[in-house]
Amino acid sequence: MDKKKITVFIDTNIFVIDLRYKRDINFNTNREFLDFIRYGKGITSIINLLEICGILSFNLNPQQILELYHYLPERYKIDIISSREIDSFIPATSVKTIMDIIYKKASFGDALIANIINNSLTRRAVFVSWDAVYFKNLLCIKVMTPEEFLSARLKT
């Protein structure tokens, strides 16, 4: 395959294996692929970049997450693609807000949900999830498990 003529979209898991899972059975092949792609036209999306930041947020401090966000494209010699669809889904002004939530040790998906809730609901709302523990420090509203919600409802 002519490495100068093909554009390769690289998914999140390729970067996560390289950055976090050195003992993964596919690490060496993964590393070889990333070395090869440095000479080609590798791309990923802002969604993937934020997903990587969210996954690694559990082991990094806010400064390290910010550095990862800014330097991952340079480190791997890739471009971050944009499109009207992605830009309307996550406007540039929201990226900082989502990153602020990721700094609190949130996955990208949880950060997106928290951002929507924090911008859309009043403090009188309640968020109910079996994963409530992950959202308690992310949301501006009360967070409960279904069990906690039912228990509180019975007390009123």
**With helix as H, strand as E and coil as C, how does 21-59 read?**
CCCCCCHHHHHHHHHHHCCCEEEEEHHHHHHHHHHHHHH
Q: Of 65, 34, 35, which is closest to residue 52 (Cα–Cα)?
A: 65
Query: Which residue in the block uniquely carries the two structure tokens 């949880």?
Result: 110
- pLDDT band at 10, cuts 50/70/90? very high
Considering the entire predicted model, what is its pTM?
0.74
Average pLDDT over residues 60-64: 97
At 17-49, the pLDDT tens digits run 999 999 999 999 999 999 888 877 789 988 889
In the chain, how many H helices and how many E strands?
Answer: 9, 5
Q: Per-residue confidence at 75, pLDDT binned at 50, 70, 90? A: very high
